[in-house]
Structure 1
């Protein structure tokens, strides 16, 4: 009888221990863990791209999320500490206390080498400036035979040579040739000359033929230059590349059709 009671007592104890173990396991996996890890619950990541870092920090804290800056860049069109990218993406479902990895806009621009714009066209300079995240500033026409060609480049009023270090996002002002040059000379006299000879003379001196106006009823032979503008007066000056208009005796020639 004693052994039987002892065996029953052991069995009961083992049974009680098994019940306790099952209760502990069920409580740990189905009650304790879910309550500490928010099992089955998720948080939607807010959109913080474009926000200031301090504002984004407050918003993430409200959602029980954290952030980590893993990259930085510079955009002159955005305020410093603006958030540029985020990972996970907006509206992604994550667990509480999840890190959101972000990149931010730097306060101070990095220094970059000034590209070579000189001798290229203004259009080409615009493309190069954009690729370097630089801005086109004021375009100043200066006397030079190279029409629309970049002659000098300036940042903050100071001439900058290619390869010099400047802040990214800088405004670059350009001096551009006007195609006329600054060489002045006396206006050549072509009145009384045949128009073809007058044209050769003017072009040979770096001038351009402007309008040719034909005048009927003149006593001069047809094709003779009767008048010119600018006038060949004493002391009158003209620059390379400028236009000269001509008035010519006779009717305007009709171009033949082959």
Structure 2
């Protein structure tokens, strides 16, 4: 045991203790701690987005990393259990055994309520379907006076009503009105009538005026309808909204069409 005989001995003892403490501190922080915690060593996070979860698990184990699924969603263009996002991002520096947080694509799509497309236009239906993560399928035009209006909506061949549950990403087929309707009646005979009166008659019965073709030298007064298509013959039928072409005596512009 050291004996303290003077102030000098005290100072020597304090100096020795200070050296011992300093060696212990330096050894702990610069040798022991780095050796036990891999201090200063880091791993570059690999890119696992786009990989299947089982594949990514094995790959991360090889890199001395782990994963944790903290979110999931559904995207129609991705495979089930495909990794959509990761945190930290690829290239980030982390220590061994660090957890990589990932979100994956669900195996089964969630169910959502079918939106209302009926009575709207096809263009409007496309926008609504996109906002609901649904896809537009086949468009079938059917006789109806509502031109380009959605009349019915189908999923998997079955008609669905607004509010019915369908799978997210489902294909929706549409029945759309062709603007012609389904009512048939006898073709009006307008031959021999002035073109303006013939136009009034045809439009009044729900038909449309098609081409107006002027013919000179027919012998009929200018502005007289001398021919029509389709022809008004016995038993011939026409539907609302269809076109009727007219041949008119005279020069174009001599007898303006009724507006």
Q: Distance in 2 between matches of 1:199 and 1:177?
A: 25
Q: What does residue 152 of structure 1 align with?
A: 152
* Mapping of residues 11-26 of structure 1, within 5 Å: 22-26=22-26
Q: Distance in 2 between matches of 1:128 and 1:50?
A: 29
**Residues 222 and 255 of structure 2 are in contact (CA less than 8 Å); yes or no, is this contact kept in structure 1?**
no
User: Which string of whole-angstrom CA distances, capped at 9 and with x for unpartnered residues, describes residues 51-99 of structure 1?
Assistant: 1111211222122111111111111111011111111111111111111
Offset, 1:188 = 0.4
Between the two proteins, the alignment pairs up a number of residues equal to 251
* Mapping of residues 42-191 of structure 1, within 5 Å: 42-191=42-191
Offset, 1:218 = 1.1
Q: Distance in 1 between matches of 2:251 and 2:106?
A: 71
Q: Secondary structure at the match of 2:203?
A: helix
Specify every segment of 5 or more residues in structure 2 that has no aligned partner in the other structure, as ranges.
none
Q: What does residue 213 of structure 1 align with?
A: 213
Offset, 1:36 = 2.3
**Residues 223 and 255 of structure 2 are in contact (CA less than 8 Å); yes or no, is this contact kept in structure 1?**
no
Runs of 4+ in 1 over 6 A off after TM superposition: 10-20
Q: Secondary structure at the match of 1:69?
A: strand
Q: What does residue 232 of structure 2 align with?
A: 232
Specify every segment of 5 or more residues in structure 1 that has no aligned partner in the other structure, as ranges.
none
Q: Distance in 2 between matches of 1:255 and 1:74?
A: 65
**Residues 188 and 232 of structure 2 are in contact (CA less than 8 Å); yes or no, is this contact kept in structure 1?**
yes
**Residues 194 and 224 of structure 2 are in contact (CA less than 8 Å); yes or no, is this contact kept in structure 1?**
yes
Q: Secondary structure at the match of 1:200?
A: helix
